[in-house]
């Protein structure tokens, strides 16, 4: 089963969930805020995707960080920041079972579609 990680008020997460329902793809939603996010899951994502791909530098949370936090960001600092502020993670993170994708544009939709077809 595909797991979508994000927050319920994220427009992209809502778009992904709506698309999954319309495509009849079995999935579950994990809300960072309501359900939390453990460091093991975040560490797995960082190993699979790289911290640069996960860190959302375009959002309000990033813009509100102190300059010294933004200037000194490396893998360890990014992991710590994302763990304490899950909204710094680009959304949605989609667990396809054997791979992860971040975001919800055409390539991610195709990966989900391929995974769903393989699982049927």
Residues catalogued as catalytic: 10
Report CA-CA distances (Å) from 44 to 50, 59, 79, 98, 120: 10, 23, 11, 12, 26
Half-sphere exposure of 105 (CA within 13 A, CB side): 4
Answer for the pair 36, 115: CB distance below 8 angstroms, yes or no. no
């Amino acid at each position: 089963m595909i797991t979508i990680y994000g927050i319920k008020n994220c427009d992209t997460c809502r778009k992904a969930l709506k698309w999954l329902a319309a495509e009849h793809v079995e999935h579950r939603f994990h809300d960072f805020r309501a359900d939390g996010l453990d460091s093991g899951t975040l560490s797995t994502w960082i190993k699979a995707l790289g911290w640069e791909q996960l860190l959302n530098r375009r959002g309000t949370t990033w813009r509100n960080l102190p300059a010294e936090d933004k200037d000194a960001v490396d893998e360890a600092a990014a992991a710590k920041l994302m763990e304490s502020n899950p909204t710094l993670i680009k959304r949605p993170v989609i667990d396809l079972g054997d791979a992860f994708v971040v975001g919800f544009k055409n390539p991610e939709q195709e990966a989900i579609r391929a995974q769903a077809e393989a699982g049927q």
